[in-house]
Amino acid sequence: MAKTRVIYWFRTDLRLHDSPALKAALDLNPAAFWPIFTWDPHYVYRARGGLNRWQFLLDCQNDLSKSMSKLNPKLKLFVLREAPQSLFPKLFKAWEVTHLVFEKDTDSYGRERDQVVMEAAKKAGVVVIVKSGRTLWDSDEVVKKNGGEPTMSMAALRAAGGKVGKIPRLIPSPQRLPDPGEMPVDFEQDQPDPAPDLNASRRTEKDTGYKSIAGPSGDFAIETMEELGFPSATTPHRGGESIALERLDKIIQDTKYTATFEKPNTSPAQFDPPATSFLSPFLHFGALSVREFYWRVQDVVDAYGKGASSPPTSLTGQLLFRDMYFAAQAARGAVFHQTANNPSCRFIPWHLPSKTDPSTGIVTGEYHVDSDTAEAWFQRWKHGVTGFPWIDALMRQLKQDGWIHHLGRHSVACFLTRGGCYVDWERGAEVFEEWLLDHEPACNAGNWQWLSCTAFFAQFFRCYSPVAFGRKWDKEGALIRKYVPELKDLDAKYIYEPWKAPLPDLKKAGVRIKGDGLSDKEDRTYPKPMFDFNERRQICLDAMKKAYDVGLHGADKQVLDGSWKEL
């Protein structure tokens, strides 16, 4: 029998522990084994990914590579700088590959890409093995058991998941790894496209030094931030399987925390350490297995007995939410990330330009503002200068560190959409896509839909106050003092509403309330609130009520042809 020559393609699974796909590859007992990561132009050039996430990815790759080298010094993570769709047909031939193995990816781009690669493998006579391991249950199987429909509630997910079967238990990390084969790259190589501007100077093939798909030194090394043409990241958070497992161990050792965890009782204002697990970025890159996380927690819960929390608020409940969004996305495909054409997504006519009375030039309309104002609000939200310190602290934490607590995400998402600005959730999701370390297409879109009350959740009358909600958790305003340093010396009485502080208090704290925070930023100035929140809340509530009464969704004909304007 011909010897097996296996490429293991790392993508969403940068770990050695509990990987069904890696196990399947090693079970083939390969004569040659190449663990590779392909340089995918989709992520490098098209997807929005901030510097912090890039650093986290490189951390995860480096840690994995080191762990593999420990098991076999001839191995490391081999990074190939070419699009997988064009690279694989050449590799199959040049390396005489017999098998290609990878973890299943149900993201819409992932599916498209993998389809092309699988067709190329079929043509080349290469056997492809795909295993689910990114979620508790295989999302496609969950959809099947849910009658082909997206899982729009926790109950639907749990019922369908139960029918799929028991969540699999840990697969131990391999103890040794086979040798790689030769790695000739003397075939025609596609050079990367010209690079995008990613908060950095534009990168070119010359800047990055890609003379070869094997990298500047020809040794398939992992890129550095410098090589990518990026300035340094700003996040203090570092990635990698080793850190993830240490973090999980520490959480599990605290039996009471693990067993009695209730999400609504964790503070969004706590940042050092965060009040929740902070494992989402590791799950995103697959540096931590979600099933390992689930079972380690569930075992503690089972042993704890009375007083333990349960889904949806418990830690395992959080992981079930993750699966719920993954399965909803698996059912809907690419339209899951938008309102248009999405039958699950309620249509809300976000910040429509108001009608201008031609005779007076006065802008009328009960709840809409003109698009310039809405755009200005969006920019001020994005850059953390709304004049509401709670919102600004969270948005600056997000930009600087790449992570904010779930209820912090609730606050800023509600504020941008139905609880303040009345701006489309898709605009907010784009900002999160760029800045989150843990950006997960399914979870990001799904949670934005939830918060904007376009899907999953409908209680639009429950709205977060940008003043009272933060104060409830953090009377002294520690989060604000850290991320909005202009206000760091302000008395706690005014820290959530600096515009109410008397002049002597402002003077004492060295703050001036002035400008819009964007155009005329001076040291120690902080903007006035960009609107009267109570007024806006009422306006948004009325508008949401109307939209619910009309009851259109993203796949309605009226929405698609624009005739909703006349409704």
Q: What residues line the site for ligand FAD (CB under 6 A)?
A: 263, 274, 276-280, 283-284, 315, 318-319, 321-322, 325, 405-406, 409-410, 413, 432, 436, 438-440, 443-444, 447-448, 451
Nearest-approach distance from CB 411 to ligand FAD, in angstroms: 9
Half-sphere exposure of 453 (CA within 13 A, CB side): 26
CA distances from 473 to 78, 265, 308, 500 (A): 46, 10, 23, 20
Q: Which is nearer to ligand FAD, 49 or 215 (CB)?
A: 49
Q: Which C-beta is closer to ligand FAD: that of 59 or that of 440? A: 440
Residue 252 CB, nearest distance to ligand FAD (Å)?
13
CB 534 to ligand FAD: min, Å: 23
DSSP state at residue 5: E
How near is the Cβ of 485 to ligand FAD at its closest, in Å? Answer: 24
Tell me whether residue 61 or residue 280 sits nearer to ligand FAD (CB atom). Answer: 280
Q: Are 223 and 209 in contact (CB under 8 A)?
A: no
Comparing CB distances to ligand FAD, the nearer of 220 and 469 is 469
Work out the angle at residue 356's Cα, subtended by the Cα atoms of residues 353 and 361, and round it to the nearest 5 degrees: 140
Beta carbons within 8 Å of 376's beta carbon, 6+ residues apart: 516, 518, 530
CB count, 10 Å around CB of 186?
6
Cβ-based nearer residue to ligand FAD, 271 or 526: 271
Q: Min. distance of Cβ 408 from ligand FAD in angstroms?
A: 8
Q: Are strands 78-80 and 99-103 parallel, antiparallel or unpaired?
A: unpaired
- Whether residue 142 contacts residue 323, with contact meaning beta carbons closer than 8 Å, is answered with yes
Q: Which is nearer to ligand FAD, 104 or 237 (CB)?
A: 237
Q: How far is the CB of 326 from ligand FAD (least distance, A)?
A: 9
Smallest distance from the beta carbon of 522 to ligand FAD, in angstroms?
32
Cis check: omega of the bond before 273, within 30 degrees of 0: yes
* Alpha-helical segments (H) within 9-107: 20-27, 41, 51-71, 84-94
Q: 457 or 564: whose CB is closer to ligand FAD?
A: 457
**Closest separation between CB of residue 429 and ligand FAD, Å?**
7
* Residue 227: how many other CB atoms lie within 10 Å: 17
Choice between 95 and 456, CB closer to ligand FAD: 456
- Shortest spacing between CB 368 and ligand FAD, in angstroms: 23
User: Which one, 84 or 402, has the nearer CB to ligand FAD?
Assistant: 402
Nearer to ligand FAD, 13 or 82 (CB): 13
CB 52 within 8 A of CB 404: no
Find tokens 């925070």 and name the residue.
517
The distance of closest approach from Cβ of residue 169 to ligand FAD in the complex, given in angstroms and rounded to an integer, is 19
**Residue 433, CA atoms < 13 Å, CB-side half-sphere:** 17
Q: Which long-range contacts (CB under 8 A, 24 or more apart) does 119-124 make?
A: 120/85, 120/88, 120/89, 120/92, 121/88, 121/92, 123/89, 124/89, 124/92, 124/93, 124/97
Q: What is the distance, to the nearest Å, from the Cα of residue 410 to the centroid of all Cα atoms in its chain? A: 14
Distances (CA, A) of 207 to 57, 87, 285: 20, 22, 27
Residue 63 vs 323, nearer CB to ligand FAD: 323
Dist. CA 447–CA 441, nearest whole Å: 10
Rounded to a whole number of angstroms, the minimum distance from the CB of residue 311 to ligand FAD is 11
Residue with the two structure tokens 């050449």: 90
* Integer-rounded Cα radius of gyration of the chain: 25
Contact status, residue 109 vs residue 333, Cβ threshold 8 Å: no
